[in-house]
Structure 1
Amino acid sequence: MSEGGNDVSEPIPVLVAGDHFVLNRLLVEALHEAGGPAAWRVRELELPWPHVPFGPIAEVREASGSEDRLIEALAGARVCLTQMAPLTRRVLEACPELELFAVCRGGPVNANLAAAAEHGVAVTFAPGRNAASTAEHTLALMLAAMRRIPPAHESMLAGRWDGGGYAYDAAGLELAGRTVGLVGAGAVGGRVATALLALGAHVLVADPYADPAAMPAGVRMVGLPELLASSTVVSLHARLTAETTGLIGTAELAAMPPGSVLVNCARGALLDYGALAAALRNGHLFAAGLDVYDVEPLPPDHPLHGAPGLVLTPHLAGASRAVAERAARMVAAEATRWLHGEPPLHQATEPPRSAGAAPSPTRPRTVPR
């Protein structure tokens, strides 16, 4: 046993509960690379997501698989690496050996954090794993909406060579020289800002909690009313809180210049989608690029159906191979830190200390939404 660490004279039993995105193979490879294959006795459980949609399981939301399968697979395991497995109170009560539940998502919404703390189980998460992917997807939707690429693509597939896109009223918009407003300046918004500046856009950011010194040179910080009134393109990157829920509605869309574009790859609840559909139908907005929605999947009677100028993707901004590989490395790194008795980098809970134990070197961290 290393000082302050775990006994590695025998391999530590660990469950990797991957799915069809963060593969078990990626988790095992990352675990072996970070801690060495001799340190772990690996058991595998494959969850059905995304081929079977995630959903609530017992008291947790956005989980995959079942409590029964996880309890069976976890028997004797001290560590679990996963993206979607449900850490419920029942699972915790049935698996007393578990000490670390490492979730490779931006927030461990598949874990009952209060119950984990009561049972002395550390829960970690992987913030920023998909920042680059989401920023790139944002730019892809922005450009596709501004240049009206989807209808041109569809016309070509249908065997038409439609040159009508050269008509002035139908022609697309350029980013160069335009003002783009970013609502929110976190890891994704900062990357988008840097890319937009390189393309020649003027960038405004509205975020009352952002540090102006951390913004790329050339970005101007403004209030939301000025951003909406000044931007040809508005892209949403805010966290979802009580303050930001419904942030962009009828009045905010009306404040945008005629012929402008809205993009949302952040959270569906930031935006009033009925108001957005109306603004597209009455011609006030030129286009919109969306990856997230108020209801997912979109029901047949959703107001977006039939609205013009839309570029839609089904919540895929974080779906890159690099994200899956990065997520696996992040949870493997947390498991290796646990192995050596080091504090986690991103801990969502701080389990209660036993009587007489030394104070924990870490502080509880706020789970990002």
Structure 2
Amino acid sequence: MTEPEPGERPATSGPVRVVAAGDHFVLPSLITAALRRELDCEVRELTLGWPLEPFGPVAEVTEASDAEEELIEALAGARVLVTQMGPVTERVLGACPDLRLVAVCRGGPVNVNLDAAGRHGVRVCYAPGRNAAATAEFTVGMLLAALRRIPQAHGLLAGRGSWEGAAYYTYEHSGLELEDLPVGLVGYGAVGSRVARALCAFGARVMVYDPYARGEIHGLRVDSLDELLRRSAVITLHARLTAETRGLIGARELGLLPPGAVVVNVARGPLVDEEALCDALEAGHVAAAALDTYAREPVPAGSRLFGLADRVVMTPHLGGASRAVARKAARIAAEEVGRWARGEPPAHCLT
């Protein structure tokens, strides 16, 4: 019998041993149910703490639950791991010699040491697009909330019993509407393209800057970020966080926006220089911001953003939080495990 290639599953009889390391969003039970629709498997379930416990760096990986010990114990004898926040570090990989496949229930396997996985013969799959619709919808909701001052008016009336929010009906304080508004999108991937379609339906004048986008787009393609910023009353960010995009919107870029512009970020916090944004808000050059992601999460108690509540809509990284996302994430990951078990090429694999 020929030796299987590294990372491939050799022909064996009996069920595959899988660890479903879910959390309080992508439930282990959802992963197990999806797996059992794909293959014969023995599943050990593990519940990690996210989002009730924040993720963070763990050893050499980012955005993971601090649970190396629990994961190593659960993976004893397992060939497959399906997880969203499990820390797949060099230490975990080295302690789990039977492991051959990691399927991550996220748009990118940032919780996996890919180099170490390759050295240990472990394939790594992921679930792109699982939260694209939810994040796009949330982005539009945040944009509308910022433009029309919905949270501030709600806080005054429901929180304080005050009718002071009626002042937002004055010409000076009333908000903007999307129809005919120039809105610039930075990034046109799975989320950005959906946001563009939604905004076009509102009648907004959509412009897009994305040097990697190919084919037709909804809206006007703009050749440079600077041009987009100069022409946009609102910008909304949809780029991935990379070395190239970290700090993409800083003091210089914010200064290019027209006075009174609005900034929306439901992508990744470090795309924006948070201190520069606070400066622009305090100076009044940026009229409002809607933020779901931040330079540090959870947002530190001393953040300047908390002092700008009249101009900033803030949510705690909820853009991808829908029940449909949890189900889709489990299904996409389980389908990858099914392909691997049948010896078929994976659809979304990095190693």
TM-score higher than 0.5: yes
Task: Give the match's secondary structure for 1:214.
Answer: coil
Q: TM-score, normalised by structure 1?
A: 0.88
- Determine if contact 1:291/1:313 at 8 Å carries over to the other structure: yes
Which residues in structure 2 correspond to 1:227-246 (within 5 Å)?
A: 227-246=228-247
Indicate which of 178, 181, 201 corresponds to 2:181: 178
Q: Structure 2: how far apart are the matches of 1:204 and 1:168?
A: 27
Which residues in structure 2 correspond to 1:1-369 (within 5 Å)?
A: 7=11, 9-35=13-39, 39-157=40-158, 158-162=160-164, 163-211=166-214, 213-216=215-218, 218-307=219-308, 308-349=310-351
Q: Cα deviations across residues 196-219 of structure 1 (Å, max 9, x unaligned)?
A: 0000001111112211x2312x43
Q: Structure 2: how far apart are the matches of 1:305 and 1:332?
A: 41
- Determine if contact 1:30/1:328 at 8 Å carries over to the other structure: yes
**For structure 1, which runs of at least 5 residues remain unmatched after alignment?**
350-369
Q: TM-score, normalised by structure 2?
A: 0.93
Deviation at 1:6, TM superposition (A): 5.3
Deviation at 1:191, TM superposition (A): 0.6
Report runs of 4+ in structure 1 exceeding 6 Å deviation: none
Q: Structure 2: how far apart are the matches of 1:57 and 1:281?
A: 35
Q: Structure 2: how far apart are the matches of 1:64 and 1:127?
A: 20
1:365 maps to: none
Letter in 1 for 2:137: E
| Higher mean displacement: 5-14 or 145-154 | 5-14
Q: Cα deviations across residues 80-130 of structure 1 (Å, max 9, x unaligned)?
A: 111111222222222211111111111112212111111111111111111
Q: Cα deviations across residues 313-340 of structure 1 (Å, max 9, x unaligned)?
A: 1111111111111100011000000110
- Determine if contact 1:5/1:342 at 8 Å carries over to the other structure: no
**For structure 2, which runs of at least 5 residues remain unmatched after alignment?**
1-7
Letter in 2 for 1:63: A
Deviation at 1:181, TM superposition (A): 0.4
Q: Cα deviations across residues 250-300 of structure 1 (Å, max 9, x unaligned)?
A: 222121111111111112121111121122122222211011111222222
Identity over aligned residues, as a percent?
58
Q: Structure 1: how far apart are the matches of 2:69 and 2:231?
A: 54
RMSD, aligned α-carbons: 1.6
Deviation at 1:20, TM superposition (A): 0.5
Letter in 2 for 1:259: G
Deviation at 1:242, TM superposition (A): 2.6
2:4 maps to: none
Letter in 1 for 2:153: A
- Determine if contact 1:13/1:79 at 8 Å carries over to the other structure: yes
Q: Structure 1: how far apart are the matches of 2:194 and 2:247?
A: 24
- Determine if contact 1:204/1:222 at 8 Å carries over to the other structure: no
Letter in 2 for 1:23: L
Letter in 2 for 1:156: L
Letter in 2 for 1:72: E
| Higher mean displacement: 315-324 or 296-305 | 296-305
Q: Structure 1: how far apart are the matches of 2:226 and 2:9?
A: 53
Q: Cα deviations across residues 145-171 of structure 1 (Å, max 9, x unaligned)?
A: 000001110111111223212110010
Task: Give the match's secondary structure for 1:170.
Answer: coil
Q: Structure 1: how far apart are the matches of 2:263 and 2:94?
A: 47
Letter in 1 for 2:30: L
Letter in 1 for 2:86: A
- Determine if contact 2:259/2:285 at 8 Å carries over to the other structure: yes
Task: Give the match's secondary structure for 1:10.
Answer: coil
- Determine if contact 1:6/1:340 at 8 Å carries over to the other structure: no
Task: Give the match's secondary structure for 1:304.
Answer: helix
Q: Structure 1: how far apart are the matches of 2:76 and 2:301?
A: 43
Letter in 2 for 1:164: A
**Across the two proteins, how many residue pairs are aligned to each other?**
341
Task: Give the match's secondary structure for 1:317.
Answer: coil
Letter in 2 for 1:294: A
- Determine if contact 2:9/2:100 at 8 Å carries over to the other structure: no
Letter in 2 for 1:166: Y
| Higher mean displacement: 53-62 or 162-171 | 53-62
